[in-house]
């Protein structure tokens, strides 16, 4: 289950019996401590292999903005992929994109959100022309 999560920091589990945090990917605690948004697998695999949620690239940006974390460069490259962007445009509703955008832009650092959209070449995906 941990490898199918969207982000390593979301793949941490709390064991009620041992009262310990379990990091099955071996990356989640390090990423939490280094303030990094990273996928458990290579981003394209995370976005496609296990995903029935094509909004994952937007979620990556949202978590980076909300938590003031750094977005892993491999996510930036994957988000620039034409297939990823086409799926965001065609498979993610305008309402969902709008909710993600509203949450990011009304947060503590809307400038960071806009910068990450630009870096990921996703402005055309979230800002309608």
pLDDT tens digits along 20-65: 999 999 999 999 999 999 999 999 888 876 556 788 999 999 999 9
pLDDT number for residue 51? 58
Which of the four pLDDT bands, split at 50, 70 and 90, describes residue 126?
A: confident
Strand-strand pairing, 20-23 and 12-15? antiparallel
pTM of the predicted structure, to 2 decimals: 0.88
Q: Find the helix packing angle between 110-119 and 94-105, rounded to 10°.
A: 130
Question: Domains (ranges, CATH) in the chain?
Answer: 35-126 (1.10.110.30)
CA distances for 1 relative to 8, 40, 46, 94, angstroms: 11, 11, 12, 29
Which of the four pLDDT bands, split at 50, 70 and 90, describes residue 128?
A: low
pLDDT tens digits along 69-125: 999 999 999 999 998 998 888 888 889 888 988 998 888 899 999 999 999 999 888
Q: Which residues of 22-39 are buried (b: 16+ CB within 10 A; e: fewer)?
A: ebebebbeebbeeebbbb
């Amino acid at each position: 289950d941990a490898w199918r999560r969207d982000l390593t920091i979301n793949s941490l589990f709390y064991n009620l019996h041992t009262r310990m945090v379990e990091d099955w990917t071996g990356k989640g605690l390090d990423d939490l401590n280094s303030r990094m948004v990273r996928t458990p697998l290579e981003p394209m695999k995370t976005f496609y292999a296990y995903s029935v949620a094509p909004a994952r690239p937007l979620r990556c940006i949202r978590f980076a903005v909300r938590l003031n974390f750094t977005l892993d460069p491999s996510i930036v490259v994957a988000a620039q992929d034409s297939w990823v962007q086409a799926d965001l445009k065609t498979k993610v509703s305008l309402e969902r994109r709008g909710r993600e955008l509203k949450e990011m832009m009304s947060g503590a650092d809307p400038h960071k959100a806009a910068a990450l959209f630009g870096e990921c070449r996703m402005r055309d995906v979230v800002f309608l022309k």
